[in-house]
Amino acid sequence: MSSDRPAGVSSDSGVADKLLALEKENTRLRSELDRITRERIEYLQNVSHQLVAPLNAIKWHIENLTAGRISVDRAKKVLRSIYSQSTIAVHLTKNFALMSNLDADHALTALREPLQPINLHQLLVNLVDDFQPLGWDKGLKMAVDDGPLTKAPEVLAMKPLLSQAFSNIIENAVKYANRDSNITIDGYYQKADDAVVINIINKGIPLTTNDIAKIFERGYRTVEAKNLYPAGTGFGLFIAKRIVDIHEGKINAFTNDVGRTVFQIVLSVRGLEGKTRQRATKDDSPYRR
């Protein structure tokens, strides 16, 4: 009998240890679920707040236009503002729609959008045209350099996703650039890696070493960014990085030698070929192999 007690005690102790471990894991999971729920509620509140502002502005401008209370010259400025506010609303809505897909941690092959060759210079010119009215409100000059990027090969990618990634970075540059400064976009073909490098450069809030390490984390915002725009979500750059990651590219941020903030994206020209569906194309680019 006495020889059986130690074994019984050991068995009881083992069950207790397992129950304690399960209780700790359950507590951890509940805490994680609470955190995710809080983040989602906060995100919804922030997005709702940010969407209401441009929609109210559009509504107010249209009321003034239809009531005939403003001059022709003033009407031109109002229409420009309506365009700007519409750009913001569409941009926020697209980010909101993307969050559920990106949260699922999709791989390239799980996404429905097919790959297609993209002229990055033209894509960026079009995006700058969309965001330029926002820049005018701060006296910003925005331009895509017509140098080496115009000769870079087309990149095989999912255009809607890539457009959103660049939109997020450009919109970020516009929001945090100093008034009356310049935002420039340049790029070049990196033959050794068969990749196109894009630089989006602005002069605004300086990035500390800590900011650079965390800037692409979900929900992260610098202290200065929070002070300027308290209702921001901190998801724009996170989404941009997820999209670049899906394309097996690279993205990083740094301060250059003249104190300007640079967001750099590197995308393979044909590295994704054969990894998912590809949209048929009629034209034959000299860079396609």
What pLDDT digit, counting tens, does each position of 263-276 carry? 999 999 999 888 87
Predicted confidence at residue 41, as pLDDT, reads: 72
Give the per-residue pLDDT at 13: 73
pTM: 0.72
Domain segments of the chain as ranges: 6-103, 110-268
Q: Domain spanning 6-103 has what CATH number?
A: 1.10.287.130
| pLDDT for 287 | 37
Closest CA to 130 of 76, 169, 87, 80: 87
Q: How far apart are CA 74 and CA 148, in angstroms?
A: 40
Yes or no: is domain 110-268 CATH 2.90.10.10?
no
| DSSP annotation string for 113-149 | SPBEEE-HHHHHHHHHHHHHHHHHTTT-EEEE--SGG
Q: How far apart are CA 111 and CA 86, in angstroms?
A: 27
Mean pLDDT by 10 residues, the chain (289 residues): 51 78 88 79 66 76 78 78 79 71 59 86 92 84 94 93 91 91 96 97 90 88 84 81 92 92 96 80 43
Q: Identify the CA nearest to 173 among candidates 217, 124, 210, 219.
A: 124
